[in-house]
Amino acid sequence: MLVFLVLASYKVVTVDAPLLRIGALTMAVVFGRVRYTLQRTRSGDAEAAAAERAGASGTAAIPLDRVGIVSGVTVRFTLDENLPHAAQPRLLALGWDVHDVYDEGFCGVVVTLFAVGRRSLALGMPPSDVTTRLNLYGLTRSELQQQLVHWGIKPVHAARLWKYLYIELVSSLDDMPELLPKLAVRLREEATLGVLPTALETASSDGFTRKYLLSLPDAERIETVLMRFTGRVTACVSSQVGCAMGCVFCATGQMGYTRHLTPGEIVAQVVHVARVLRHEAPRGSVKGAITRATRHALGTRLRNVVLMGMGEPLHNYDAVMHAVDIMLDQNGPSLAAERITLSTVGVVPGILRLAAEQRPIHLAVSLHAATQAERAALVPAARKWPLDELMAACRTYSEITGRRIFYEWTLIEGKNDSEEQARAVGELLRGLPAHVNLIPLNPTTGYDGAPTHSAAGNRFREILQQEYALPSTMRQRRGIDIAAGCGQLAVLAS
């Protein structure tokens, strides 16, 4: 048995995930005076009242994947993976960085680890469990086959179901007439297709961009964007409801963090865009089907996915990678790995994990500043993962994978668009396999900065290319009038 004790006074107390992964976590106790927000769940007043009583007494028991703190008093609670989820109060800690607890006085963390295992503590609000039905979009093909075996059905029948999901893109369990009757009954009793209803669809005046406000099972909402470019269609999908990273110029960061999305909720966005494109496709045969190659040529097949919507993908690593595995299935969504790009604000443990797992998708890192002080002012997560640590992780990533990284730079007039800033970027990225994406700032209500002028942006790019041989691209601005551009996605409180 190993016991770790961390003490601090008016400082950040940190429990790092790599430390926790060396053992199977069976118990953790947090005590001290800490900040908190109590989250009332949608399951009823009784549970919320139970949570409040737990807070008043300073003790609350919660399952392993629900992390929270009660405040204002000396607090103690236990994480026990054997506790029944439905019976426990849920507590939500707002303002946390991924592994941080901010204290208002003496605070300590005791973590007890037993044996050897791979279970790790994930800080953050778990996906809603409003529905206990199995989300079909959240299963890989192998998992779907295993589920059929669990139901006493031969796994060969998974192939027809999989085709309904990702080739025919059906929108209801009623649209699967050829399923084995026993399987159809099981699906109606225990599963859901996971389709996300469209609460609002908005089209941009640019003629290339549409934004979808999609409803989740727990009444939360997310935004997904369809963007057309010459010869390709791209879906910008969300990974969280809100975001905990708090980038000052980002509308999602301004709205705060609510919860992670499940793999099925991430995949459902991809299917939603694919279904929209299918409905717009010309009909080719008597059965109304045309080939994938033809849809590609016509721009009616989804080609690219960018994980650049609401949320920080590496904060929700496991769910995002599970969804990516489903997207890559050649018998399903059939997206090519080189057509999927994940954008991170710089979550260092996630970048290193991507490298270690040799994930073949593209990585984009939101840089925005070339010094630690300037970056921390724009990207609060830089206080958790300083610029030097981030760049070291990026070097490690490129060395292990042999892949270049796309570095994103939001050009803000008078703040980071000068010639000196361009040269600072060039020095920072010297010797790295890199491509710089320059993005003129898109307006949000919570930030009063302005986008760079075209002359300054062009000069910035010219310096990168001519003085540092750094390839760069000025991002095409799409959907700005409907708040569908980079950094503009958000769901306003009703």
Give the CATH number for residue 141.
1.10.150.530
Distance CA 388, CA 383 (A): 11
Q: Is residue 494 part of a domain?
A: no
Phi, psi at 68, each rounded to 5°: -160, 170
Does residue 388 sit in the same domain as residue 455?
Answer: yes
Distance CA 420, CA 308 (A): 28
Nearest to 385, CA basis, from 343, 346, 354, 350 = 346
Does residue 105 sit in the same domain as residue 245?
Answer: no
Q: Is residue 489 part of a domain?
A: no
- pTM for this predicted structure: 0.74
Structural domain including 166 reads 134-192
- 326 vs 263, 306, 323, 330, CA distance in Å? 9, 15, 5, 9
Q: Is residue 431 part of a domain?
A: yes
Domain boundary among 171, 192, 213: 192
Domain boundary among 52, 79, 114: 114
Q: The domain that contains 235 carries what CATH number?
A: 3.20.20.70
Does residue 175 sit in the same domain as residue 211?
Answer: no
Residue with tokens 């540092």: 468
Does residue 151 sit in the same domain as residue 29?
Answer: no
Q: Is residue 119 part of a domain?
A: no
Distance CA 186, CA 170 (A): 18
Rg (CA), the chain: 24
Does residue 404 sit in the same domain as residue 478?
Answer: yes
Does residue 232 sit in the same domain as residue 253?
Answer: yes
For 232, what's the count of Cα atoms within 13 Å in the CB-facing half-sphere?
A: 9
Nearest to 68, CA basis, from 412, 209, 76 = 76
Which DSSP string corresponds to 477-490? Answer: P-SGGGT-STT---
pLDDT at 476: 86
Domain boundary among 177, 192, 207: 192
Which residue numbers are catalytic?
A: 223, 486
Q: Give the three-state DSSP class for 464.
A: helix
Q: Profile the chain (494 residues) by mean pLDDT over runs of 10 residues.
A: 35 29 29 30 36 36 32 29 30 29 29 24 40 91 97 97 97 96 97 96 96 97 96 96 96 96 98 95 50 51 96 98 98 96 98 97 98 97 97 98 97 97 98 97 94 96 97 93 96 68
Does residue 355 sit in the same domain as residue 274?
Answer: yes
Question: Count of domains in the chain?
Answer: 3
Structure tokens at 442: 């898109």
Nearest to 325, CA basis, from 372, 289, 357, 281 = 357
Q: Is residue 382 part of a domain?
A: yes
Which DSSP string corresponds to 427-470? Answer: HHTTTS-EEEEEEEPPPBTTB---BPPHHHHHHHHHHHHHHH--
Q: Is residue 129 part of a domain?
A: no
Residue 476, classified by CB atoms within 10 Å of its CB into exposed (0-12), middle (13-18) or buried (19+), is exposed
Does residue 139 sit in the same domain as residue 155?
Answer: yes
Q: Is residue 70 part of a domain?
A: yes
Does residue 474 sit in the same domain as residue 367?
Answer: yes
Does residue 173 sit in the same domain as residue 207?
Answer: no
pLDDT in tens, 299-348: 578 999 999 999 999 999 999 999 999 999 999 999 999 999 999 999 99
Does residue 304 sit in the same domain as residue 364?
Answer: yes
Distance CA 299, CA 229 (A): 9
Distance CA 414, CA 273 (A): 37
- 261 vs 22, 23, 118, 266, CA distance in Å? 26, 26, 22, 7
Does residue 95 sit in the same domain as residue 151?
Answer: no
Q: Is residue 487 part of a domain?
A: no
Distance CA 428, CA 432 (A): 9
